[in-house]
């Protein structure tokens, strides 16, 4: 963690009390908090430690440029958030493998030999896991997060990720939820419906 890192919440707070936020107060979000999110999220596992998630934070006018690319029902939510994150995967994630996977010296070359669609599938899967880690890390540093899949990814990529090898997968509003900014918890599946234990 950085020296300015905020105090961290417990896993129980994060899982049991944390709620998706749809409307935010004006309380500012610091760059230290944004850095602390990634410092936590990066430690959770990805395939081959490839760490394909890339994050672009938007404030102020940059955030305004995002709003037309969100589905209509999502615009007001991002408009009220002090910071919005674009989560993307890097299709050229393999360039970092010599650093991230020194135990696998041929990894970069192997991925370079694959077609882009195969690299995309690999990157999207681990980046999606990392998106989940990112949401929970945001809560851990004391923020509320509002993940949103309702946006035009092609237009977001053109507006913010042109000239990069990144492709967006999720938009996450970040800030402190307003008093009326969350919804009551909807039911979850019970353990017996969602899981089973096999012994043979
Ligand atoms: C991948 C993903 C996509 C989502 N997309 C949207 C969205 O486009 N708009 C929206 O209002 N909420 C969206 N949500 C919010 C979910 O509906 C919300 O997290 C879920 O109902 C749980 O709510 P809770 O945290 O209050 O229990 C999305 C959440 C996730 C994880």
Q: What φ, ψ does residue 137 adopt, rounded to 5°?
A: -65, -35
Residue located nearest, by CA, to atom 27 of ligand 1? 185
Ligand 1 pocket, CB under 6 A: 19-20, 22, 74, 147-150, 170, 182-183, 185-186
**Cα of 172 from ligand 1 centre, angstroms:** 10
Contacts 24+ apart (CB under 8 A), 113-116: 116/91
Residue located nearest, by CA, to atom 22 of ligand 1? 20
Within a domain: 2: no
Number of domains in the chain: 1
Within a domain: 113: yes
Within a domain: 94: yes
Question: Which CATH number is 167's domain given?
Answer: 3.40.109.10
Q: What is the pLDDT of residues 152-199, one digit of tens each?
A: 999 999 999 999 999 999 999 999 999 999 999 999 999 999 999 999
Residue located nearest, by CA, to atom 5 of ligand 1? 148
Token reading at 80: 């009220």
Within a domain: 3: no
Domain residue limits at 16: 11-194
Q: What is the pLDDT of residues 100-153, one digit of tens each?
A: 999 999 999 999 999 999 999 999 999 999 999 999 999 999 999 999 999 999
Within a domain: 175: yes
Residue 2 confidence (pLDDT) above 70:
no
Token reading at 57: 């934070």
């Amino acid at each position: 963690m950085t020296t300015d890192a905020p105090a961290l919440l417990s896993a129980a707070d994060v899982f049991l009390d944390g709620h998706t936020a749809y409307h935010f107060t004006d309380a500012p979000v610091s760059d230290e908090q944004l850095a602390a999110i990634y410092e936590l999220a990066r430690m959770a596992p990805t395939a081959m430690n490839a760490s394909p998630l890339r994050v672009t934070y938007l404030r102020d006018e940059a955030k305004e440029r995002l709003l037309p690319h969100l589905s209509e029902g999502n615009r007001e939510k991002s408009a009220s958030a002090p910071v919005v994150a674009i989560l993307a995967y890097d299709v050229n994630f393999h360039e970092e493998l010599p650093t991230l996977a020194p135990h696998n010296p041929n990894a970069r070359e192997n991925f370079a030999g694959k077609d882009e669609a195969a690299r995309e599938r690999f990157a999207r899967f681990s980046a999606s896991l990392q998106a989940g880690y990112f949401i929970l890390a945001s809560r851990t540093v004391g923020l509320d997060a509002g993940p949103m899949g309702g946006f035009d990814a092609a237009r977001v990529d053109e507006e913010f990720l042109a000239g990069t090898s990144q492709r967006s997968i999720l938009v996450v509003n970040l800030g402190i939820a307003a008093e009326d900014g969350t919804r009551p918890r909807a039911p979850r599946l019970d353990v017996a419906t969602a899981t089973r234990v096999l012994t043979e």
